[in-house]
Amino acid sequence: MTSPTSGDREKVVSKISPALQQVLRIRTAQHGIDIQHAVEAGITAWRGLGANLATIDTSGAKSFSTWLPPGQWEGFRADCAARGVPIVQGLSQSVQLWLEKNPSPGVQRPVNVKRIIVCNQKGGVGKTAITAGAGEALAEDPDQLHPVRISKHFAAALTEGEGDSPLDYEDLPGLGLRVLLVDFDPQHHLTKQLGQEPLPIEGDSLTKHMAGEAQGELRDLIVTVEDERFGGRLHLLPACTDAFLLDVKLSGVRAREAALERALASIEDDYDAILVDCPPSLGLSMDAAAHYGRRRDGEAPGNSGVLIVVQAEDSSADAYGLLTSQIEDLRSDMGLELDYLGIVVNHYDARRGFIATSSLKNWMDIKDPRVVGVIGDLKEQKEAVRMKQPLLAYAPKCDQSVGMRALAREIS
Residue 109: inside a domain:
no
Omega of the bond prior to 279 within 30 degrees of 0, cis?
A: no
Among 90-104, 160-174, 337-351, top mean pLDDT goes to 90-104
Give the global pTM: 0.87
Co-location of 226 and 328 in the same domain: yes
Co-location of 237 and 280 in the same domain: yes
pLDDT at residue 3, rounded to an integer: 52
* 261-299 residue pLDDT tens: 999 999 999 999 999 999 887 788 888 999 999 999 999
Residue 170: inside a domain:
yes
Residue 108: inside a domain:
no
Co-location of 10 and 95 in the same domain: yes
Counting other chains too, the contacts that 209-215 makes at CB distance below 8 Å and 24 or more residues apart are 209/262, 209/263, 210/246, 210/249, 210/250, 210/253, 210/259, 210/260, 210/262, 210/263, 210/288, 211/246, 211/249, 211/250, 211/253, 211/259, 212/253, 213/249
Co-location of 173 and 265 in the same domain: yes
Looking at 71, 101, 131, the residue that finishes a domain is 101
Report the relative pairing of strands 170-173 and 62-68 from DSSP bridges: unpaired
Our count of domains for the chain comes to: 2
Looking at 48, 75, 101, the residue that finishes a domain is 101
Co-location of 369 and 345 in the same domain: yes
pLDDT at residue 352, rounded to an integer: 83
**Closest by CA position to 42, among listed 32, 27, 30:** 27
- Mean pLDDT, rounded, for 251-257: 87
Looking at 73, 101, 129, the residue that finishes a domain is 101
Give me the CATH number covering residue 13. 1.10.1220
Indicate the average pLDDT of the chain.
90
Residue 107: inside a domain:
no
User: Does 163 have pLDDT greater than 50?
Assistant: no
**Between these two residues, 324 and 118, which has the higher pLDDT value?**
118
- Mean pLDDT, rounded, for 140-146: 94
Residue 106: inside a domain:
no
Co-location of 236 and 350 in the same domain: yes
Co-location of 71 and 212 in the same domain: no
Co-location of 128 and 275 in the same domain: yes
Co-location of 46 and 160 in the same domain: no
Range(s) of the domain holding residue 93: 2-101
Co-location of 185 and 289 in the same domain: yes
